[in-house]
Chain A
Amino acid sequence: MSEQDPSPRDRSNDLAISRRDALRISAAATGASLAGFGKTMAAAQPMPVALPGMSLTVHFQVNGNHIETLVDPRASLLDVLREQLALTGAKKGCDHGQCGACTVHVDGRRVASCLTLAAKVEGRQVLTIEGLSLEDGSLHPMQQAFIDHDALQCGYCTPGQIMAAVACVQEGHASSDAEIREYMSGNICRCGAYVGIVAAIRDAAVTMGGD
C-alpha cells in the first residue's frame, strides 16, 4: 500500500501544536458552543453541556464555518466531526490510518482524520465531503464523475475516496492511470470499485484542470 499522504512529514509540521498552546487553550475552556454555522453546518447539533473529559477548547474552520468547541484532548478529528459536529460523511473503517475512509482535507491537504487529534487542527481549515459541493449547491466535478462511472457500491468508502481523489488531482498525481492507482492506494474499497474510481478521477481531472 502506498502512503495516504504523499508527504506525511510536512503534514505533521503543519498540524503541530505545542504543548504550551494546548494547555493555554485548555485553561480558557469554559463551555462548548458552535458559532457561525452557515449552510453546510445547518444539520449540526450543538453540544449542550460539556461532557466528562472534554477539557480542551479548539477553534477551527469546518467547511468555511468557524467552530469553537470543547473536546476530549484524546479525541480524534474524525470522532469530533462525527460525534460532536454531526458531520457523519467521513467514515470510520479502521480507526488506525489503514483504510482512508476518514479522509478529509486540512489546510488543503488530505489527512486520515482518525489519526489526527482534534487538538491539532486548532486554527486550521478543515474540508469534509459535506463542504465539497460548489457554492451554488451543484456537485463538485469529482462527485459527478463518481456517479457517472459508478465508482462506488455500498458508498461507505466513497466520501474518503472522493476527498482523496480531489487531493490526488490537486497534487498533480493524476497524470496517468498508473499514477492515479498508486496515489489512491491509501483508500481501500472492499466493494472493489477501483476501475470506476480510476475512470472517475481521470475524467474529473480534466474538468478540474480548468480551475
Chain B
Amino acid sequence: MNETIYPDRARIDALEKVLGRTRFAADIPLPRITHAMTVPSRIVRGRLAAIDIGAARAVDGVLAVLTWRDFTNAQSAGYLMGGGFGFQSHQPMLSDRLVHRGEPIALVVAETLEIAIEAAALVDARYEEEPFAALLEDERAEILAPQAGHAMGDAQAMLASAAFRVDAEYLSPAQYQNPMEMIATVAEWRDGTLTIHEGTQNSSAVKFGVAAALGLDSARVRVKSAYLGGGFGQKNSLQGQTVLAARAAILLGRPVKLVMPRAQLYHTASFRPASRHRIQLGADADGRIVAASYEADMQNSRADTFRASFSEITARLYSIPNYSSTARLVRTDVQSPGYMRAPFEHPAAFAFESAVDELAYATGRDPLAFRLNNDAETDPVTGDPFSSRFLAECLRTGADRFGWSERNPAPGSMRADDGTMIGWGVAVGAYKAAMAPAIARLRVRADGTTLLSVSGHEMGQGIRTAIFAALTEGLEIDPARIEIVIGDPDAAPQHLTAGSWGTASSVPVVRRAVETMQARFDALRDGRSVHGSIHQMLALWRRPYIEVETRLQAPGQPDAVFDRLQRGLPAAGGPEYKPFVSFSYIAHFVEVRVEPTTRRIRVLRVVSIVDCGRVVSPRTAESQVRGGVVWGIGAALRETAEIDPRFGGVLNNDLAEYVLPVNADIGAIEVGFIDQPDPMLNEAGVKGLGEVAMVGVAAAIGNAIFHATGRRLRQLPMRIEHLI
C-alpha cells in the first residue's frame, strides 16, 4: 500500500506557460505552411444540390478548394462508442448528404488565413432541404424505447406507501465545452508519412482514425498532442476536421493549418445533450429514503447511440433499498452529442440532489443531517463493498469549515445588513473511479538525462506534474533533466484520457516503472554499496542506460485489453470491479446572495471537500477542484445553448452570447482533501478528480437559492427571470 505523502510543488510546466513558450498545435512553426477554412452548411438536413467553387478558386493565393468530390475514396472512421474512432459516425464531405447544420461542405486552402477566409465566403451552394427535428419536444424527434437501468427492490410500491414523497422534473439544456483552445489541426505530409499536430485527449484514436478514414497504413500516421488548451471531453476522439486537413495536406504536399472558428465549433464538435429528469423519492417517518425512481430523456443524433447513464451515481449516493431507473434516448437532427465534463453526473446530481433537498425539507429535517442519516455502507447496486468511501467525512469536514451549524433552516430567514437574501445549500457528488490500461517506458541514462514515455494527455489537469511527482519521489535521478513524453502514440500507446482516469491510470504504471527500474539497478549493483545517483553509477559502470517497460490495467481486466489500447480503442474499466466498487466523492457547501429587487444571484463562497483517494499533486489538484466548481457555477447560472427550432442551429454560438463564468462571477472557493489512499483500486491509492469536482455544485446552488428565497428552481441555468 502506498504510504507516500506527496509534497506541495509547483506545476512543472507552469514556467513554460507563463513565458508563453508552450506550443499548442496551432503554434507549431512549419515552413511553407498553408491555411485552411471550412465552409459550413446552411441547412440542417438534406442534400447539397450544387456547389460553385469558381469564385473562391479564382482568388489570388487560393491553393485548393476541396468538396465531397475530393473525398470519394475516403470513408468514415466510425463512432468512438461503436467500435470506431470519431466523435460521431458521420464524416462530413464524404457525399452530398447533409445531416446537421454547420457541417463543412468545402475546405479552402490558401497561402494566408485572410485569403482562406475571403475565399470561403465566396463558395456558393444550393441545397435541397428536408424537414428536421431540432429539440427534444419536436414532433419529428424520435423517442426510442426506454433503456433498462437499475432495478433494486420494488420502488413503485414503496413510493406509494412512503410517509413523505417528492415527484419533480428537472431540466438540463444543451451545453458546450468551449475549451479556450479552439480545435486546431496542423497536418503535414512528408516522405510518405502524415504527421498531425492536434490538441486531442485521444491521440491514438486520431492516429488510427485518420488512417482508417483515408486508407493509410497506421504506421505512417503520427500524432502529436503534447498539450491541450483544455479539452473537457470535446477533444476526446477523431474530429471531422482532422480528416479534411489531412487530405488537403496530402494533396498539396504542404503543411495545412485548420483552426476551426469558435462559431463553427458549436456545430462541428460534440456537446452536452439536453436532458429531462423525473425524480420520485419516498422517505419513511424516521427520515430514511426508502425508494427512488429516476426516469430520464436525453437528446441524441439520428445515427449514433450515446447511452445515458445518469443513474450510475445516483443509485449509490445513499442507501436506498428500492430503486428503479430508465432512460429514453430522443433522436434529433444534430451532430452527435458526447462527453462534456461530468457528462451524466452533473445533470443527474442536479436533479437528484435537488430532489433529496426537497425531501429533506418535506420531512422537516436539516439537509445535512438528512444526507448523513442516509449514507450507504455497501454498494446498493451490487451489494459489494466500496473500495473506499469517505463521503460522510467530506460532509462533516465541509460543514465545519463552512460554519453550517450557524444556519437558520427556515427558507428566507437569513439576510445581510443591506437586505440581501442569503442562502446556504449543500449537495454531494460522486464519479466513478475508473482506470484505463497504460504503458510506461522509462530510460535512465548515464549522461544524466531521463526519458519517460507514458500513456496520458495533458489538458491542464496537471497530469505531467503528477507523473513527475511519481517518478521523482521514487528514484535517485536528476529532476532537472527529465523529459516526459505524453500524447504521442509512437512513444507509448495512448489511452483516451477522460473520465477522470488519467492520473489513476498513468501514476500507478509510472510507480511500477520506478520500482522495476530500482530492481534492475539493484541487480546491477549486485550487493555493492554505491554513492551517487543512478546516472553516476551507470557512468561509472560504463552502461549508457537502463530501460524498463511496465504496463498496468484496471483490476480484473484481462491482458487482451492491451490489444485495444494498442489499436486506439477505448479500454477503461470500472467502477464495478468484482468484488468491489470504486467512486470518488465530494461535498459542496455554497453561500448565495440574492438581491431582493433585481433578484441577481451571486455565489459568494463555496467549500468543497473531496475524497479522490491519494492526492499525488496537491497544488494542481486544488486548482482542478476550483476549476470544477467554476464549471458548476457556469452550468448552474449561465450556460445554455439557445436553439432556434425553425433553423436547427445554436443561435448564441460565440463567447459573448454563450455566457461562460468570468472572474467577476467567482467568489471564494475553499478546497479540502480527505487524502486517504484507496487500498484496492491501484498501488498508488489514486481515484479520480477532474469530473467529481463539478458534480453536485449546481444542486448546492439551487438548494441555496431555495434557502434564500423559498423558490425551488428545477431548470438549468437558474436565472433572474425564474425568481421574479
Chain A interface (Cβ < 8 Å from any Cβ of B): 1-2, 45, 51-54, 72, 74-75, 79, 82-83, 86, 88-96, 98-99, 101, 128-130, 133, 139, 143-144, 146-148, 150, 152-159, 162, 180-182, 184-198
Contact = CB atoms under 8 A, between A and B. Distances in A.
A53 B115 contact: yes
B17 A83 contact: no
Nearest to A73: B114
Interface of B: 10-11, 13-24, 26-27, 29, 31, 35, 60-61, 111-115, 118, 178-182, 227-230, 232, 259, 261-262, 458-462, 619-620, 622-624, 626-631, 654-656, 660-666, 668-669
Closest 8 CB pairs of A and B: A89-B20, A154-B460, A192-B630, A156-B229, A52-B61, A155-B17, A129-B20, A153-B460
A83 B628 CA distance: 34
Contact of B180 (A1, A101, A133): A101
B14 to A, nearest CB: 4
A130 B27 CA distance: 14
A129 B663 contact: no
Contacts of A187: 662-663
Nearest to A131: B20
A181 B629 CA distance: 17
B180 A156 contact: yes
Main secondary structure of the interface of A (DSSP, over half): loop
Given A93-B181, A158-B18, A147 B11 contact: yes
Contact of B111 (A52, A130, A194): A52
Contacts of A153: 230, 460-462, 620, 623-624, 627
Main secondary structure of the interface of B (DSSP, over half): loop
A74 B664 contact: no
A188 B662 contact: yes
B64 to A, nearest CB: 14
A132 to B, nearest CB: 8
Contacts of B662: 1-2, 185-188, 194
A133 B458 CA distance: 25
B19 A143 contact: yes
A52 B34 CA distance: 12
Nearest to B618: A150
B579 to A, nearest CB: 37
B469 to A, nearest CB: 14
B588 to A, nearest CB: 14
B392 to A, nearest CB: 27
A187 B665 CA distance: 12
B639 to A, nearest CB: 11
B180 A194 contact: no
Given A86-B29, A150-B10, A95 B262 contact: yes
Contacts of B630: 192, 194
Nearest to B112: A51
Given A147-B10, A153-B462, A158 B114 contact: no
A142 B458 CA distance: 24
8 contacts: A152-B17, A154-B228, A156-B24, A181-B666, A184-B663, A190-B660, A191-B180, A191-B460
A152 B180 contact: no
Contacts of A185: 662-665
B282 to A, nearest CB: 37
Contacts of A98: 654-656
Given A154-B230, A162-B18, A188 B180 contact: yes
* Residue with the greatest number of chain B CB neighbours at <10 A, chosen from A79, A88, A130: A88
Contacts of B115: 52-53, 72
A148 B19 CA distance: 14
Contacts, number: 206
Contact of A193 (B60, B112, B623): B623
Contact of B13 (A51, A88, A155, A188): A155
A197 B627 CA distance: 12
Contacts of A129: 18-20
Which of B179, B259, B620, B664 has the most chain A CB atoms inside 10 A of its CB? B664
Contact of B232 (A2, A155, A190): A190
Contacts of A184: 663-664
Given A150-B623, A189-B663, A195-B668, 7 more contacts: A2-B662, A83-B112, A91-B229, A94-B262, A129-B20, A154-B458, A195-B669
A147 B663 CA distance: 18
A196 B17 CA distance: 15
A99 B182 CA distance: 12
A6 to B, nearest CB: 14
- Centre residue among A144, A148, A196 by max chain B CB count within 10 A: A196
A192 B664 contact: no
A118 to B, nearest CB: 10
Nearest to B22: A155
A144 B622 CA distance: 19
Contacts of B462: 153
A91 B627 contact: no
Given A152-B17, A154-B181, A181 B29 contact: no
Contacts of B22: 155
B229 A148 contact: no
A188 B660 contact: yes
A194 B262 contact: no
A162 B631 CA distance: 22
Contacts of B665: 185
B625 to A, nearest CB: 10
A66 B228 CA distance: 33
A152 B230 CA distance: 11
* Residue among A52, A92, A155 with most chain B CB within 10 A: A155
